[in-house]
Amino acid sequence: MMDEKHKPGFVDRFNEWREKHISHRQFVLILSLLVGVISALAAYTLHHLIHFIQHLLTGGFDPHTFNWLYLVYPVIGVFITGLFIRKVVRDDISHGVTKVLYAISCRKGNIRSHNTWSSMIASGITIGFGGSVGAESPIVMTGSAIGSNLGRFFKMEKKVMLLLIGCGAAGAVSGIFKAPIAGLVFVIEVLMIDLTMSSLLPLLISSVTAATLSYALMGTETMFKFESDPFVLSRVPYVILLGVVCGLVSLYFTKVTVSIEKFFKRFKSPYTRLLIGASALSVLIFLFPPLYGEGYETIRQLIDGSPDTSNAILEKSLFSNHTDILLVFMFLVVVFKAFASTVTNCAGGCGGIFAPSLFLGCVTGYLFASLCNQAGIGVGVIEKNFALFGMAALMSGVFHAPLTGVFLIAELTGGYDLFLPLMMVSVSSYLTVRIFDSNNIYAVRLAQRGELITHHKDQAVLTTLKVADVVEKDFMCVTPEMDLGALTSVVAKTKRNIFPVLNTAKHLVGVIYLDDIRHIMFRQELYHRYSVASLMREVPERLSIEEPMEVVMRKFEKTRAWNLPVEDITGEYIGFISKSAIFTAYRNTLLEFTSD
């Protein structure tokens, strides 16, 4: 009778049944469908959680009068979110898409199970209380975590888990925006390494499934109602120029975000970060009320094209009756949006930059068109059209994803008849920002740590390989005080031809090569004449266990060595790395990348 401890569980029995009745490819498609359904439900839940909290807090406010609680609510939301993360989650859940990229970069596909719900709750509180961030990055993290944990539950291999992470991200974007093409393209451009025919179908299934379910739950209307005016070729130069401007604004947004995050890392206390960040956020919202919340209401006002747009943008602010300073006001909103979004997260909140990018692009496009018209240099430049173009351009510039910018804005607004200018402005923005920065805002943090996988296969393989995975530790160590006789006894016990010399602190002080002692090791009369210290050599270079493989390869090329020692962060000896071990690991990893 089988021991109870070794009795197969439900998952094991199910996998046995599945292997007999369902092919592996079919089961992956079923999982991608399931991921799409759950991701859409998660997006629906987050969407309604945010609006429930917003209605609960501000439902009774006069929309035409500024209320002092607008200054307090974001601070309370950030404080509650911070407590939730520290006391309940007890893990860092910020920078959702960056963490998804890291899971892919590690080639492990493991995302912790709490991410299937923690990011939703944290971002729902932050945004519901008016934090100047978006819900899209947290829901991408949630969808990716759903895919990862489903794959782990059914004991799928790493390659399938990485695909399911992509399916979760595609389903999340499709579900929250009701934009199936944008969800698919986002994963291809921003997250995935290689797109093959075997991965395209599951991604497509998740994306379409999530969008369809969102249509059923939230209606088929687009997120923003937009009626475009006909586009004429005479406006092409202005569209391209707007793309260049938005590319520079994208660069500004990224640099400001990274700089502020670096500034807040100085403060170890969460309450210090809360005090500084919340104070800055309150001041910014008081001066510029459009910075409150996601900013989607401002986007609707700008692309609506109504004559009362000026008053709508300035309402609730100190300048509500001064329409003559509208352009200055909007310029300052562009300048300070990056600050408001970043301090919301740095102070303890949780949110993404999808919504801030859309908001910033919309304001930039509208401002650009207004300046052209007032200066008399535009040929009937239509503000609402250029507000739409600006949204696509900022998305393309910030995320380095021009196709995502084009399809997302077309699906959000139904502006499919503006595909040509959307493509022009997106490409212009992308090419502009690429001149100055090769990484998007999500990838820049991983790139700084050397953990980013790129579309370049050689670079991607080197990034994937870790020193700890190829280090060899079966070398017999000797001490400087040992004589040739004792060293010969050690040589007789191993097949290795390298012998690390360690001091009492376990630090490497030199190395003995078998070839250096081969001519004297059998001469017993010399056993007490020579010591290890007199026979050892200096090592040409040392490797750290935390060094990226790119640096390791450069050191091998520089020294022309075949073996190099590895140390931990304290300088203690760990083992050796050989070129042959790296080449073997490189080849195996490359096969994973290129196999379909």
Question: What is the structure's pLDDT at 462?
Answer: 58
User: pLDDT-based confidence at 5, cuts 50/70/90?
Assistant: very low
Give tens-digit pLDDT for 269-326.
Answer: 999 999 999 899 999 988 888 899 888 888 988 888 666 666 677 777 777 777 778 8
* pLDDT tens profile 312-371: 777 777 777 777 788 899 999 999 999 999 999 999 999 988 899 999 999 999 999 989
Tokens found for residue 338? 């990056």
- For residues 187 and 39, what is the distance between their CA atoms, to the nearest angstrom? 14
pLDDT at 334: 94
Q: Is the pLDDT reported for residue 498 higher than 60?
A: yes
Which pairing describes strands 508-513 and 498-502: parallel, antiparallel, or unpaired? antiparallel
Cα 133 to Cα 161, 285, 338, distances in angstroms: 29, 13, 10
> What is residue 459's predicted lDDT score, i.e. its pLDDT?
57
**Cα gap 244→309, rounded to integer Å:** 25
What's residue 256's pLDDT?
94
Q: What is the mean pLDDT of the chain?
A: 85
pLDDT over 70 (residue 378): no
pLDDT value, residue 589:
67
Instruction: Map 328-346 to HEC letters.
Output: HHHHHHHHHHHHHHHHHHH
Closest by Cα among 35, 44, 43, 42 to 205: 35
- Note the pLDDT of residue 388: 92
DSSP 429-440: HHHHHHHH-SS-
More confident residue, 51 or 227: 51
CB 358 within 8 A of CB 135: no
Express each pLDDT in 384-408 by its tens digit: 889 999 999 999 999 999 999 999 9
- Structure tokens that stand for 358 in this block: 């859309």
User: CB–CB of 354/136 below 8 Å?
Assistant: yes
Q: Which domains does the chain have, with CATH numbers?
A: 9-218 (1.10.3080.10), 233-458 (1.10.3080.10), 459-594 (3.10.580.10)
What local confidence, expressed as pLDDT, does residue 63 receive?
64
Q: What is the pLDDT of residues 581-592, one digit of tens each?
A: 888 777 776 666
> Angle at Cα 374 formed by Cα 369 and Cα 379, nearest 5°?
60
Please report the DSSP string for 454-500 in residue order. -SSHHHHHHHH--HHHH-B--PPPB-TT-BHHHHHHHHTT-S-SEEE
Quick one: pLDDT at residue 570? 87
Out of 79-83, 123-127, 405-409, 453-457, pick the least confident.
453-457
- Residue 223's contacts (CB-CB under 8 Å, 6 or more residues apart) are 177, 178, 296, 412, 413
| Chain segment 177-233, per-residue pLDDT in tens | 999 999 999 988 887 655 666 778 999 999 999 999 999 999 888 888 888 777 788
pLDDT score at 580? 82
Q: How confident is the model at residue 542 (pLDDT cuts 50, 70, 90)?
A: very high
Which of 2-6, 116-120, 188-192, 319-323 is predicted least confidently?
Answer: 2-6
| Dihedral of alpha carbons 510, 511, 516, 517, sign | positive
- What's the pLDDT band for 6 if we cut at 50, 70, 90? very low
Confirm if 175 and 44 have CB atoms less than 8 A apart: yes
